[in-house]
Each structure stands twice: as C-alpha cells, then as structure tokens.
Amino acid sequence: MATLSESLGKTELGAGLAQGVETISLNQEVTFTLYVKLILPLDGYVFWVNAALLTDSAIYNASQYNRLLYDNLDTVIPPKTITAKGSFHLAQELHQLEERTTTYNHITFTSLKEIQPFNLVNPSLLYIAKYENNTFAFSRRDNFYKQADLYHYRGDALYSIMNTQIIDTMTGFDTTNVIVSNSLPFWLTLNQFFPMYPSYLVGQNVPPLYASVDIDPRQTTALQAFPLITANSSHYQLTKDVVKISIFGTRNYNALEFQDYVFQYSLDTDNIGILNMPIIQDEKVTQPEFGIIAMKKTITFEVSYYQQNIQDIARQMIEHAFISVTPAT
C-alpha cells in the first residue's frame, strides 16, 4: 500500500501537512467556474460573464493572443469548471459606512496542490467560486514554502455592491446605455495615438504605450443653473469636469501631439470645451530594484460638456468583443 507521500509525490513534511489539511477540512472540495471579461464599449465598465453562456470561439477570442495568424500562444480552451481539494477558511469584518453596512469576508483556501488553471496568463479569464453563500476569487498567492508543498490562495468574497458586475444570465442585461454620468465616453474615443482606459480599469500588466483617464467626481460641477429639457424629454446640463490623463511610454513630442489632438477634437466636434491651458507634466514612478523611472506624463484638462445621453459617442471597443452569447435557458 502506497504511503501518502508516495501517492502525492510530496516530501515527508509535505505529506504530514497534507494529511492534516485533509483531516481538518474533512476532504473538502471547492468548484470554480470560468468567467470571461466583458467590457462595455460605451464607457469601459467591466463585467464578468459566466463562460457557460458563451461559445468556445468567444472564450478563445477573449484572449489577448490569437490576434495574428502566427500567434498560437493560447490555443487551448480552458476548462469551464475545475474542482480543487483543500481547506476553506473564512474571516469576517463588519463595516458601518455612510451609504451602506457591509460585511467583508476574507477567504483563504489552502490547496494540496497548485491549481494550474489559476496560472492563465490572460487577464480576460477568471475562475470564480460560490461556496456557503460566498462568491469569491483570489487576488494573491502567498506564504509558499516548497518543502511544505501547500498552496495558499487569498482574496475577498464579492462585495454586495459588486453583485451587478457578475453575470450569470444575459436576460435583461443592458448593453446600450452608458453607466457613467461624466465626460468619460468622449475621452475613450480619443484613441488615435494610444489606447485609452478608464482609471482603475486598466487591464492587467498592460505594456506602454497607453493612457488612463481619471475624472474626479468631487470636481464635476454645474455651469448652468438649470438643465434644458427638450420636447422629447432629453436632458441637457452644462457641466464641468477636471480630467487627468496619465500616459505611459511616451516622449514629449507624442504628448504634445495628443494635446493638440484634443484641442482639434474640441474645435471640430464641439462635444467638449477647453476651460484651461493644460500643461504636460513629468511624473516620477520608480522601481528601486532596477534603479529606473517610468516614462509617465500627465495632462490635466478642465472641460465643459453637456451631461446627457451620449450613446452616439461610443468607442468602437476598448479591447475586444465577444463573438456570440447564448442566453441561459
């Protein structure tokens, strides 16, 4: 009869720890489901769609690879569900905030072996588990000691206010109306020089050249005492935004060309008005391991625009689109 260490290929220490994990967890198993990132073309909002709703070709083309004929780095469709054996640990914190009272559930999952699908080099795919009324994914793996041969995955369960971003049915899902109320959709169309991303929604490890758009909600103010309501109930409110564009990987002439591009867009379309004289600034982002700084520049625009329905100012696509969606039955 094979020993535990022989059957699992572990060290003596690892075998003992694995047996302990199995004992305290009662051979617990957790099932993870594959989700695919959906980015709304109107304003860059991110949703995660259950892969069971999509065709294999949609999952295949969600990859950052396979965009060229010779690019065959990601040809295998990952499994839509995986089951991992290990110990599930939950810690809870109750927070009473201004606009909500919420519980933060901190998840630690100790696996007896490395969960290989988690190593997908593809920010458009994510495995999400639902266990004991908690929906969770992992943001880190830490405390790995090779001799122990246990894998600790950590993350927070889905916050209640984020439930709208996980899609398990396409019924009633709105893809035609913008979510944001500021001037972001205008800026996402200005991608002639480099891709434009909403702040906090830049893709994982995106290499330069790219830019992010940050609009401080505290500085979105009215320039008009009362909105104009038209005969067909359209709503027009003259509004001011303070918009910071952060550009990575550019040189001075590129940044100046982009600035002139924005000025020309304002003149040609009248979608936004420029209220200040923006100045390009060099930012210092360091990495001491290499003794270098990033090529980062920022430009801050103060702009006026009409806060309205701007479906016609939609960007074609921020990154990619799904081929097809199959509604859940």
Interval 127-167: pLDDT, tens: 888 877 788 887 766 655 555 556 777 888 888 889 899 99
Is residue 201 within 8 A of residue 227, CB to CB? The reply is no
Is residue 181 within 8 A of residue 222, CB to CB? The reply is no
Mean pLDDT of the chain: 78
Least confident piece of the model among 9-13, 113-117, 178-182, 280-284: 9-13
Q: How confident is the model at residue 116 (pLDDT cuts 50, 70, 90)?
A: low
* CA–CA dist 198, 128 (Å, integer): 24
Average pLDDT on 280-296 reads: 93
Q: Which residues contact 19 (CB under 8 A, 6 or more apart)?
A: 4
Is residue 93 within 8 A of residue 106, CB to CB? The reply is yes
**Which pLDDT score is estimated for 320?**
42
**Which pLDDT score is estimated for 29?**
79
**Which pLDDT score is estimated for 4?**
35
Average pLDDT on 242-269 reads: 95
Q: Which of the pair, 324 or 266, is modelled with greater confidence?
A: 266
Residue 171 scores a pLDDT above 60: yes
Beta strands in the chain (DSSP E): 29-39, 46-50, 81-96, 101-111, 125-131, 134-136, 140-142, 151-156, 166-167, 196-198, 210-215, 221-222, 228-229, 235-248, 273-274, 281-283, 286-287, 292-293, 296-307
**Which pLDDT score is estimated for 229?**
82
**Which pLDDT score is estimated for 127?**
87
Q: How confident is the model at residue 1 (pLDDT cuts 50, 70, 90)?
A: very low
**Which pLDDT score is estimated for 263?**
96
Q: Token digits for 72?
A: 């065959």
Average pLDDT on 273-289 reads: 94
Q: Token digits for 284?
A: 């210092």
Q: How confident is the model at residue 199 (pLDDT cuts 50, 70, 90)?
A: very high
Please state the length of the chain.
Answer: 329
Place of tokens 């889905």: 158
Is residue 48 within 8 A of residue 191, CB to CB? The reply is no
**Which pLDDT score is estimated for 209?**
92
Q: pLDDT above 90 covers what percent of the chain?
A: 29
Least confident piece of the model among 79-83, 87-91, 195-199: 87-91
Residue 240 scores a pLDDT above 90: yes
